[in-house]
């Protein structure tokens, strides 16, 4: 995961591991034109982050699955509207496809109204290793689990 190359909201291409700065990170794949799951999930993550006191060792990042529309500046504005500390990542179609495969995320329908994607929240440890995946059906457990996750060695 850490070696994935993506484009940050400011337009700079970065290694994901460098951009995350050694924090435990909640990663969500979505897109700005999503009418339901994406804004609801980002809002849930923002409430969780705020309720935990905005911990320095926790980061939230969204990676777009619609890089043709979600240019870095647009995605950055969308993500930081939920919380100014949240990170936004875009990239080329190839970069997004590589990142999606690494996170076991699927998506289809680029450029159409019938756009679909896997709507999980992944938890990366401080080394950038994928440790947990929360589906929408068990995302409600994340607030209770996260203090224990952050307390574990490696997180």
Residue spans of the domains in the chain: they are 5-148
5-148, what's its fold? Glutaredoxin (3.40.30)
| Cα–Cα–Cα angle for 137, 143, 147, rounded to 5 degrees | 135
pLDDT at residue 90 above 80? yes
Identify the top-confidence range among 8-22, 73-87, 109-123. Answer: 73-87
Take residue 119 and report the two structure tokens written for it: 């709507």
Percent of the chain at pLDDT above 70?
A: 94
Q: Of 26, 70, 30, 17, which Cα lies nearest the Cα of 47?
A: 26
pLDDT at residue 72 above 70? yes
Question: Do the bridges between strand 87-90 and strand 58-64 make them parallel or antiparallel, or are there none, so unpaired?
Answer: parallel
Question: Do the bridges between strand 107-108 and strand 116-117 make them parallel or antiparallel, or are there none, so unpaired?
Answer: antiparallel
Confidence of residue 127 (pLDDT cuts 50, 70, 90): confident
């Amino acid at each position: 995961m850490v070696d994935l190359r993506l484009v940050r909201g400011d337009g700079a291409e970065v290694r994901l591991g460098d951009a995350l700065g050694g924090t435990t990170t909640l990663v969500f794949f979505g897109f700005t034109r999503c009418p339901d799951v994406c804004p609801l999930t980002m809002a849930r993550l923002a409430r969780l982050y705020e309720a935990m006191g905005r911990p320095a060792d926790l980061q939230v990042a969204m990676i777009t699955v619609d890089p043709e529309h979600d240019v870095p500046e647009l995605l950055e504005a969308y993500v930081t509207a939920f919380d100014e500390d949240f990170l936004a990542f875009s990239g080329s179609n190839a970069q997004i496809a590589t990142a999606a495969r690494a996170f076991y995320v699927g998506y289809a329908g680029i450029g159409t109204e019938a756009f679909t994607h896997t709507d999980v929240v992944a938890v990366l440890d401080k080394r950038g290793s994928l440790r947990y995946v929360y589906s929408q059906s068990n995302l409600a457990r994340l607030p209770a689990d996260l203090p224990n996750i952050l307390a574990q060695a490696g997180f």
